[in-house]
Structure 1
Amino acid sequence: MTESLSQEERRNILDGLENSDEEVRRLSVERLLLLPAEESAERLVRCLGDSGWRVRKAAVERLVACRKDEAVQERLVASLADGENSERRNAASEVLVACGTRVTAALVTQLSSRDVDVRKHVVDVLAAIGDPESRVPLRDALADDDPNVRAAAAEALGVVGGADEITHLLGLATQFGEDVRVRLSALRALSRLEASVEVTALGDVLDQPLLCPAAYGLLGSSTDPQAVEALIKGLSSGSRSNREGAMGALLRTLGCLDGDEASRLIERLRAAATENEHLVESACDRLEVADLGSRMMLVQFLGLLEDPRAVVPILRAGRDDAIEELADRTLEALSGGLVEALEASWSEIETDLLPRAYSILGRAEGDVAERLLADALGSNDVQLRCSAAGALGRGGFFDRLPDLVRRLEMAARDVDADADEEVAIIVRSIVAMAEHSEAVGTGIDVQLIEVLSSRLAGAVEPVRRAIAQVLARLGREQDEDVIGYLLKDESAAVRRAAVEALDRFGFDRTRDALRLALGDEASSVRIAAANVLGRSNSLDASEILVRQLADDDPRVVCRVVRSVGHLCRTLGVADAEIERLIGPCLDEEAMVALASLEALTEVGGGFAGRLAVEVLTRPEPEVVRAAIVCIGAHGNASALVEILPHVSHTDWSVRAEVVQVLSDRAVRKGLPDLLRRLEVEEDAFVRESILRAVERLEE
């Protein structure tokens, strides 16, 4: 906070706070930190009760920035007693949480307030802060006259409590005549503390319909042998919430077991599911309507049972993006019957689920999975064909390589708009098959290369490209002739893939081929050659690359510059030499200048920051921003000073980058510039960045 403010500026801020326009009030709130500390604190706390949510949000953020101020803390605690303005009370609670343990003592004094709402809010804030020092006061609050406060205190102890609180919470949970909400909160708190409670200690809790599910949840952490018996019995309960509570608890119990103990419990669960014929069916039905947390639990529990009836329901549950990965991993983990269950239900599986079904089959083994995937290659739906092709490649179904190649040839001749995508996916599938863990080192990879190479003569372009891409990953010395043949291919895509295959050999062997590739008519081939040279770890390669800086395609020049930078960093080239190689490119068009700055950022060193300063006067915002990034990473104190004027740059991304650099590098000289910019900054993102930077620099 600062007092260096003119009377007119002060009047404008105060008048703005009374304006009927919410946006004007918000802007005035954001400038309140320019007022003297005492006054700004009082007015900010008052603004927490503004009718406009954006004004309240701005006030919260400003108060969070000065949360270490005791005057601010006192006013916030006092705001909890505002019974007429709930918005102000809620906003004050939010800031108090951000204040952290600094306000614990002040909050505890309010637990004796006569206002029950104040006591309830205080308990909630203490829970959110999580200070262990609040345990004893919260334990005392378990005896509050109001059940809402007692329930909140129990829940709070579930967050901040320790071993000493377990006895108090258990007594509250089992206390006959206590409000059911309080008992329920105590049970949930015990579960959160992972307290180990014996079944007999729960008294009548398991007989209470509203408490039983929470009690089952608590037993999931119990070491009492009778806990498992009670939970398995709960699977047969006529209450859905009881059954699901028992399921979740049994999953937690399993998480604490290993080896034979876990296996024995799983067998008991499967036996219980066999005895209770409705358990699996009801759980499957719930997968369609339950809340997210329950559905995730049900997917895991049904996966343990390995019941074929659950396979398709679990697959359907994966329609939800939040569950998809869990559902698929659960199905893949089934030790037996998965493929057969999918095959038996194949006609019931909706079309939108088939791609995921194919992916799951791709991770399975056996003839049935292979047949289902191979059959899908003949589907009329291109998306299904693509999904099946990808699964065959990832799954390493090597015997189906001829099927993939035939499908590739058909797709290459197809004039349909989706044909190009199908070609690309099948090519990736073939490459994935060649890179499969069971292919490398077993000779299968060699067989794949030989099968592909045998089809080279007269092959369509996608097949030739697939061969080149496989060689780029698995090529051997004896494949040099095939690579050389592909380097002369009429297709630029094939030639590029062949150039990438040269990366597998030493620079001395590929020098001439790469030099020729740099003269290729296709820019994509020249870019690939520059990329390979950049990874060659050879100083001679940098001289070859420098000559390519005269290329007429700026995209090629960009790749060349980046490759030169990578070589310089790898080989430890002297600063003066790097400046000679990269420096002139900073004056080229924007695309090349950007690549040069990225190269300098990778190389590093004080000279990189010095060179970047020279670019700050360029008109292109993206170039200036890249220069600021480089200066932020490698610039010295004088270089950092040079970026200060750009806190007022016309482009918001440049301003934001300057603010970030000043904050990261702790450039306190930038504080006046940041505060002046804060007065006029209109971009919300930049404004928030400035506020965070100011707070950090003032610490």
Structure 2
Amino acid sequence: DESWQVRKAAAEALVDVGATAIPALIRMSQDERADVRRIAIGVLGRVGDASAVQSLLPYLEDENADIRAMSVTALGQIGDESAADGVAALLDETETPRWSDISVGEMAKRALEKIGTEKSMALMNRLRLPMISHPTSAQLAKEKLESITRKGAEKIADLPPRLQKMLNNTDWRFRQKAIVAVSRTGKRGALPILMDGLHDAEPEVRLTVVNNLKYFDTELILEHLSVALYDEDRTVGQLAAKKLVEIGEAALSILKDAATSSDEDVRSLAIHALGQIGDDTCAAILLESLSDHAVPSWTDQSIGELASAALLKLKANDVQAVVVDPAIDENIVSLSETEEEISSSMIDVGVDALTPDLDSFTAVQTSSEVQQPEQQEYLIQLRDLIERLQGDEWRKRHKAAKELNKLAKSLRGRRNKVVADKISLLLSSSDNFVRLTAAEAVAWLADESAIPLLVPMLQEENDYTIQIAAMRALAEISERRVVPHIVPLLNAKNQLVREVAAEVLGYLHDKAAVPALLEALKESTGFFRRGIIQALGDIGNLQAVPQLIDYLSDQDPQVRWATAEALGKIGAPEAISDLKRLLWDSYEVPYVDEFGQTTERHLSGIVVRALENIGTKEAKEAIADWESSHA
């Protein structure tokens, strides 16, 4: 039908028809219209019959990213191992379909996890783990790793069992929290653990490693930063380059080596960093890079242009000793004149003039900001987005909001204070749509300078969406000092606010929140009760165990489920006898997986996992007795 609404309704009906509709759906998947093919492929995935797999596999190579993305998703929903090789071939694809903000490669990763067989997981780990077995820039990092000596450092031998479990947890957020905890010890023995963290499959964990190297002496972390510079995720590489710039002269040998890398992204990051350090010994290698026309993924400038800009930052007497080709010299002079022209045109735009009303805020550049080409590009883009964000047409505002968050996401972990400050100012706008958009952008930036503007938003009881947006942003910034400001929201008028407050307190992992959570638990019901219990499990403080044990007998089976899981996370031996009783609980817990399909899980399985986490002899015997009775 010509109407997409009719086609969508037909697709929903075919899902209900089930496997008998597969032949017709396969014919539809060959339609010349891309959106018809996409809908048909999506329905085949939701029907979930393995007989459709061979018909879907060719679409993994379709020239249309929308079709490839939908095919990957559908094959994950079907969950047949025969699709694993085809899906794994797309793990490195960065293109994003029009209907999602997730790349095809990330969809492939999720599909392999959904297939869940030993083969699919092996494929995912082999192709996705950076710096281990996957050629390209990751192979360069592996070679770098092989040349590294640990200088006799041994891993911390006395890690608490709970922390060791967190480091090996399948949920990357637990591994991330463990990395932070290990880093804050500042012990030399933590460094091998952090080096292991640079192998993690999740970029956020690797990013956390780089961010937390600040707790160690410079000479001890150069090897880590050298490895991170070659990371296949450019956000990690960019942050490593920034840290090397902060170190300065001691990092020059690493950056000079990287400036000759075969990976253009690594070369460009190194060239840019050498310019920021501005040491005279960099001149020769920068001059050699002037003829490099490769354009890296993180900027529109070629490496040669980056090298030209870097040379301009060296002192005049630093470059005079180098023999310069006349053509190159002319290019540099031309670039200098251009920069001088730009600077002179900005003289009238002084800092004192930059005090616009927040509701008509535009990101005008100061003369100091414009001297950084990359910064200038961000600020011009930001000015345009903010103007559209404050316009009258809803569609344009909505599109601008999405683009602002995309910009913020691209800057995550890079500590761009100028951009972060300008976005943070939008939190004080009188337009709530602008404030909500800014809160989401600030969450992506995870810049702690926004905290003073976010905290007052928590108190705006007349608009629960503002309160929730502020909490989400504070959770991403992940500073424990905000816990006292979030605790009062456990008693908020709006139930959603209460639920999110519990979730965020769990995410922040601060035991200072435990007394307030236990108090709120007494009068809680439904989702809020489950949220508090999950938060207590995430925090993992033994203080909560006696009260949690009582909820293993709650009349709501999903509360029993959440409690068993929480006690397992805490690792509470005193809960074993009560957990043993739940092994014979017949309740099946419905949950929604990442593909939106409802599945069933036995509560007994969750109890087994909790007992495994506790790990004592009594817990293991309880599992063995239960398994033998079900043999």
Q: Which has the higher helix share?
A: 1
Higher RCO (Cα < 8 Å, 6 or more apart): 2
Normalising by the residue count of structure 1, what TM-score does the alignment of the two structures yield?
0.33
Instruction: Work out which of the two has the higher radius of gyration on C-alpha atoms and give 1 or 2.
Output: 1
